[in-house]
Structure 1
């Protein structure tokens, strides 16, 4: 029989109590009925007992770049995480520890003095220096870099000793170590990366990193391989597999790879594939915490700019139907823009604030529909249809159709517009591409367990603030939270920020789905949570006992 790790349990992930969730019977709102499921969240699979020759791994799409400043998406990150390393590293228990930075001192609230680890070699064989650290951070901070937003509060990056770098901030930042544990903290070989210029990170280029694996070969459109770096500086973290080969395809292709036994594992883009592969002999399915939550993201096109329209749609959305039909019951209706994995500290505070949220029903009742109709009457029905985008996947279609159904119940005309995957991706980066769309849906995950990191996306001027929202109270509350290092106090203010975002319904939360790992029973040692996007998850995979 197929082994699927599904059970009712409360487990500890990094000291955080996370409870397996049971989905009730379907209540509508989706294309097809799924089954009620129960699932357990685990931190990682058991440690491996020995080395293996190779791993074959499936990605949901080909990486667009292995340059952390140009990479876009979880699949690029999943490869980079095994090749490159940062000043700090998030562990599988969601804690963060100094990594390429051996030590950190904080003489005041806006100064971080990093002692750079000696004895670290790049894959070129050259020793890492403080100059490489300064060069890398300055590269990440360039306006054209995908990591530049993580440096908006940093006013100076200076070499202050042979192996010491000091960063000066404009304002206190309790997220600093989290930021430096992601792409913004990756240290590159300045000689190798600068010599390649714009070609760095593309197929045929040499990597410039320090991690347990080195880029081996990238055959565009076919596969990408990495091999163990035998001179890796962290001997205890030596990779257990000699090589990893990545192939990719859409969700159907990935499912077929698993069913045919062509791959050893994959992190599923969505849990919708689980029913098609859970009977595969010799493969197991694991679930881990995610920082993401499925949500409807409004644009400034016009029909969704009135918060009363957004709040009315939220009241009428059938979230349980979305979970059942769109996520195959693997998830739960969700009331917050940030997923449960974003509560990396002061969890009791976040849970209490979450429980107090109103206006985000699991499934709408008559009172919710009546309240929504009143809001629409106050705002006035938009002149044209509200347009929601879909890329044709099961989950996006279910969410789009659930929005149509919600609109019908409260007197709003909602229309679905279909896009190819490439076109759908453009909606998130191009104002011109989304000029004819009122809502796009996405899980919008974070690379760090810090809910505050989600709410900066809604600040005025942020490229991801598609709505063009400008709220003075919101800005002031964000600044207040962003200056608090004491975690319990910060969690309280972040919860106030969450309440304000929901009062304006800046993003409409819908559902939370776990990270889904599929792994051959002969293998073990992989983490199961979102940390795989920044942690060298493949290095720990080896033989099962």
Structure 2
């Protein structure tokens, strides 16, 4: 029982940790963004850029000692991984030639042509060593591999991961950096670049991908905070900066590239409240929500709407059937089924003489979330609910969510590379309805391979334990002299630098 309580607290911390401060983009600033994007084609004749200045947060280049997100974004340049996330949230093979997943066993076979930047062979022993380094780290890699019970070297080119629980998306988590065995003090990787001097990266001549792009060298420029980084971009001492925060786009005099992130924005529902305990009432609220309008108005093009608890661009959703969009006919049908067909003179639904009301809790220090809450209030009033908004400071917001002191709340959670919903569903199914418990059970069955993703989504949309709204973007700010076709992912913001 104690272990379950600790896991619940950890899940709640992860859930609330996904909430961040945001600002609303003004029309003037939107024009600035557009100007930054079109600057490449309207003002300059470009020459090939071979040198790049990129931000780093600290001195160490050991990925398992890095603590800042800025530094961790540099790691994929120096270190390859077994797999690599693609823009559709699937995985591509990197230094693995195959990944075979059977239940709780995942066997990885390595490519035969991978060398470290010092010219030595990369073997399964190096993978095992890197896994052990990840376990000792204080950054995200420890949590990423928390489902791994053990790692066994089968041969020089084959290694087996044994999982605590089966996970059909475990290959998405094989993105941890591979270091040469014993090199933690002076780490050696097999990535596209190598250390070639103090804070200087140069092309790795031994990289298995062979063909490199136009960027020959990368100068790492230490940046203590975001404000310094933006100033460095303006003054030209920085060419490339990734920011994973939901905020107003900054004016840097350069260009921007949005990076889709697995940060799920959603409406949390307290199903212990009388009316919200009825799945049809929750379905009715979901059908009243215009996600497209909410996301486009609050985020402009900094987010994408989704009607399921995953990014809408996820490759596994393409062949599935999911309900989406505002549906007033469904709203009216569900209200009739619920017996909520009486209204007062102002058009609000009443039971007896009292209006049917719902309150929306939101962090009032977050302007974008406040805007979403206010728009949601009007959408719910439009269908007859007496909706109100309660905006409170972030600390109080956290407390109220933890203690379930809300009807609805506007939340955000960052999912791991395998899009794991366990933390979110664990929190939302405490002291909950039977339908929501079935959603968690069906989710676990899907992750373990005994149910399909379609089965889970059908159970999810039937019970409606929460209402997904969208997933937001991170932002790359870059020198407008860089005219190359930038592609980036949440796992690698330099995803295609070797093709520039």
What range describes the TM-score normalised by the shorter chain of this pair?
0.5 to 0.7
Q: Does 1:410 align with 2:390?
A: no
Q: Does 1:212 align with 2:188?
A: no
Query: Residue in 1 aligned with 2:363?
Result: 389
Q: Is the 8 A contact 2:117 2:207 kept in 1?
A: no
Query: Structure 1 residues 76, 33: closer, same or farther in 2, change over 3 A?
Result: same
Query: Residue in 1 aligned with 2:151?
Result: 157
**TM-score (normalised: structure 2):** 0.66
Q: Does 1:295 align with 2:270?
A: no
Q: Deviations over 1:142-187 (max 9, x none)?
A: 798744565565554211223432234566543232221x23xx32
Q: Is the 8 A contact 1:404 1:415 kept in 2?
A: no
Q: Is the 8 A contact 2:442 2:459 kept in 1?
A: no
Query: Residue in 1 aligned with 2:414?
Result: 444
Query: Residue in 1 aligned with 2:372?
Result: 399
1:152, 1:484 → 2: CA distance?
Answer: 19
Secondary structure, in 3 states, of the residue corresponding to 1:243?
A: strand
Alignment length (residue pairs):
446
Q: Deviations over 1:512-537 (max 9, x none)?
A: 455655544432445434x2523643
Q: Is the 8 A contact 1:316 1:368 kept in 2?
A: no
1:366, 1:475 → 2: CA distance?
Answer: 25
2:275, 2:193 → 1: CA distance?
Answer: 46
Secondary structure, in 3 states, of the residue corresponding to 2:362?
A: strand
Query: Residue in 2 aligned with 1:101?
Result: 96
Q: Deviations over 1:184-241 (max 9, x none)?
A: xx32345243x6xxxxxxxxxx5554323457999xxxxxx56226455336255724
Matches within 5 A, 1:22-171: 52-56=50-54, 75=70, 77-91=72-86, 96-104=91-99, 111-117=105-111, 120=114, 128-140=122-134, 146-147=140-141, 151=145, 154-169=148-163
Secondary structure, in 3 states, of the residue corresponding to 2:182?
A: helix
Secondary structure, in 3 states, of the residue corresponding to 2:313?
A: helix
Secondary structure, in 3 states, of the residue corresponding to 1:191?
A: coil
What is the deviation of 1:92? 5.7
Query: Residue in 1 aligned with 2:297?
Result: 325
1:467, 1:120 → 2: CA distance?
Answer: 46
Q: Is the 8 A contact 1:332 1:511 kept in 2?
A: yes
1:301, 1:75 → 2: CA distance?
Answer: 41
Query: Residue in 2 aligned with 1:477?
Result: 442
What is the deviation of 1:333? 4.2
Query: Structure 1 residues 432, 70: closer, same or farther in 2, change over 3 A?
Result: farther
Query: Structure 1 residues 509, 235: closer, same or farther in 2, change over 3 A?
Result: closer
Q: Is the 8 A contact 1:301 1:435 kept in 2?
A: no
Query: Structure 1 residues 237, 306: closer, same or farther in 2, change over 3 A?
Result: farther
Q: Is the 8 A contact 2:305 2:312 kept in 1?
A: no
Q: Is the 8 A contact 2:284 2:330 kept in 1?
A: no
Q: Is the 8 A contact 2:50 2:216 kept in 1?
A: yes
Query: Residue in 2 aligned with 1:187?
Result: 178
Q: Deviations over 1:65-107 (max 9, x none)?
A: 977668788645422322332112235676644333344456x
Q: Is the 8 A contact 1:299 1:468 kept in 2?
A: no
Secondary structure, in 3 states, of the residue corresponding to 2:439?
A: helix
Q: Is the 8 A contact 1:102 1:115 kept in 2?
A: yes
1:311, 1:75 → 2: CA distance?
Answer: 40
Q: Is the 8 A contact 1:117 1:163 kept in 2?
A: yes
2:393, 2:48 → 1: CA distance?
Answer: 48
Q: Deviations over 1:230-259 (max 9, x none)?
A: 455336255724114454755x88777666
Q: Does 1:338 align with 2:310?
A: yes
Query: Structure 1 residues 172, 363: closer, same or farther in 2, change over 3 A?
Result: same
Q: Is the 8 A contact 2:356 2:385 kept in 1?
A: no
Q: Is the 8 A contact 1:319 1:362 kept in 2?
A: no
Query: Structure 1 residues 263, 535: closer, same or farther in 2, change over 3 A?
Result: closer
Larger Rg: 2
What is the deviation of 1:413? 4.5
Q: Deviations over 1:341-398 (max 9, x none)?
A: 22x2461x23xx23x34xx6289998499689959989x9999975322543x42332
1:286, 1:87 → 2: CA distance?
Answer: 26
Residue segments in structure 1 that go unaligned for 5+ positions in a row: 1-29, 40-44, 196-205, 219-224
Secondary structure, in 3 states, of the residue corresponding to 1:136?
A: helix
What is the deviation of 1:326? 1.6
Q: Does 1:455 align with 2:421?
A: yes
What is the deviation of 1:307? 6.5
2:472, 2:311 → 1: CA distance?
Answer: 8
Aligned pair partner of 1:361 in 326, 342, 347 = 326
Q: Does 1:497 align with 2:456?
A: yes
Q: Is the 8 A contact 1:291 1:338 kept in 2?
A: yes
2:58, 2:271 → 1: CA distance?
Answer: 30
1:229, 1:143 → 2: CA distance?
Answer: 27
Secondary structure, in 3 states, of the residue corresponding to 2:310?
A: coil
Q: Deviations over 1:399-450 (max 9, x none)?
A: 344455567773354311233xxx79x95xxx899558753522635535xx
Q: Is the 8 A contact 1:255 1:273 kept in 2?
A: no
Greater Cα shift, 400-409 or 239-248? 400-409
Query: Residue in 2 aligned with 1:13?
Result: none
